[in-house]
Structure formats: structure tokens, C-alpha cells
Amino acid sequence: MTKRTTWGKTMNRRLRILVLAIVFVVVAVVSLGIGRYPISPIRVVQTLLGGGNAQEKAVVLKIRLPRIIAATLIGAGLALAGQTMQMIFRNPLVSPDVLGTSTAAGFGASISLLLGMSTLAVTVNAFIFGVASVVLVWAIGARIKGEQTMGLILIGMVVSSLFSAGTSFIKLIADPNNILPAITYFLMGSLAGCSFQDLQVIAIPMAISFATLLLVSWKLNILSLSEDEARSLGVNTRLLRSVAIGASTLMTASAVAVSGQIGWVGLIVPHMARRITGSNATYSLPASMLFGATFLIIVDNVSRTATTAEIPIGILTAFIGAPFFLYLILKENRHEA
């Protein structure tokens, strides 16, 4: 392959990422004007720049803007975490909660709701339990000899099952009139009522995770090689996996802490991103972030406008993700045949 051909492919990938970025910005601006009180994109931009009347400022800046920012961070975070996990475990069917992060975060939120804690406490506890679950999985996995990757997946399944059972018990003893509906709605996933206070809780963990994974993106490609080949290139694969899993965990726990359990985003978006930019993590990771953010903003628009009562996002992503998951399985079987 000539240098000109390589340069051309690189520019083509960068151009596609630029297009994804432009689409994301357009979708975000348009979404700020979508709702029960519609606002034109021009008026939205004017409001963001300090113009607009009092009602437009209240709707755009206080209600819709934190929700759009949350959808951006959560969509990008789940997609980036999903692709990272798929590369670490060399399995295209792995999702960000493979180590039980989402289930544990849901358990932490359920306990907080059962005890009648504040919204901020629910968010913080969900984040703490999400991170704690992976620490537990990692501590147990360190005692396993042999193939650690498969061991982590199996331990993650066990830990996830335990937290799921704990959540079911909490739902069993919760007040069916007030607490149980709140727990159920949280577990379905939603951005309703998201505020800047919620975003402050997850801003730093999200920023650290994004920066970490993007900085080591070129090294993540090496994880597709065997251990011996990776070591010959001077890469400490154990340290790289630890850092990548830690960053992915922070993102997933942060996302669930704010929005509840939103499934499928971290599974289907990385596949779409790889179709656009290829499997090179240097390009596919930014593409996943932009695609995931755009995707979740669009789904959230449908969630809050399709019916008079808001539809939980987790339901909508499941409707999209489940058929796509079946498609992946059938495609994998065709390749094996």
C-alpha cells in the first residue's frame, strides 16, 4: 500500500468523523427547539447567545439544555465504554455492563429510593455501587489462574445476578404506592428531570474517562493481537486492560447514576461506528462517541414527544437494539457456516 493510498484513507476517515460531528451539532440544536413549546433553530441559537424572551430562556436553558447535555454525555459514554469492552474482551457482543456495573448502580439507586433519600443521594449512591461492583469483580478475578478475560466475564455475570436479586428483593418490600413505581421507572431509564446539579456529579468522572480512553486509543488496537505479540511491541497489556476497564466503568456508572439503566446503546452503536470508520480505534472511538450522542438525543426526542406521557428511554432502545442483536447473531452464524 502506497503512502498516498494510506493518506487518502486517513483523510476519508477524518472527513467521516467531521460529518458525524456536524450532524451531532445540528441534531442537538434542533432538539433544543423540540417539545410542547416548539422553538425554531434560529431562535434557539439566539437564546444560547443571550437573546430570546424570558419564556424561551426558561425552556431552552433550564429545561432542555441540561437534558441534551445529559443525553450527549450518556450516549457518548455508553458507546465509548461498549466499544472499549468489545475490544478488551475480543467479543463484538459484549456491552458496557458485562461486569455488572449497570445492575449494581441500579441496586444502589433502589436502596436510596427505598430509604427516601434525595435525588442527589440517589445519583451518588448509584455511581458508588456501580464502581464498587467492578472493584469486586476485579478483586475476585485477580485470584483466578489462567485466562483472566473469560474469568472476569463469568464473575461479572455472578455479581450482576446477585445485585439483580437484591434489587428484586427491594422491589418486593417497597411501598407499592410510592416507592415501587419510582424504582421501576428509574430502572427503565429516563432523562426526565435531569438538572445541572446531576451533571455536576458525573462531569469529572466522565471527563477523566473520555480523556483516558482517547489518549490510549491507538494502544487498544494492540489488544486484538496475542499476548506474546503485544509484549513484543512493548505494551503492558495487563495495565492497559486495567486502565481501559476502569475508565469504562466510570463512564457506565456515571451514565446509570443520572439516567437509570439504558441498554443496547453500548452494544449497537460501536458496530455502526466501525462500519463508518473501520476497526482502527483511533478513528472508531471518536465516531462511537459522536454516533452514540446523536443516537441518544434522537431517542430522547421520541421519548418526550411521541405520547402525552413520557416513554422511558430504555424501552425505546430495547425496541431498536433487540432486532439488531438478532441480526448480529444470524450474521455471525452465516460467517461460521
pLDDT of residue 8: 55
pLDDT of residue 239: 87
Is CATH 1.10.3470.10 what the domain over 3-336 is classified as, yes or no?
Answer: yes
Q: Taking each helix axis as running N to C, give the angle between helix 101-114 and helix 237-259, from 0 to 180 degrees, rounded to the nearest 10.
A: 40
This prediction has a pTM of 0.91
For the chain, the domains span 3-336
pLDDT of residue 333: 61
Count CA atoms within 13 Å of residue 302 on its CB side: 13
Mean pLDDT of successive 10-residue stretches along the chain, which has 337 residues: 55 90 97 93 93 90 94 96 91 87 94 92 92 91 74 90 96 93 92 87 91 91 74 79 92 93 91 89 94 96 89 91 78 60
Give residue for cell 452465516: 334
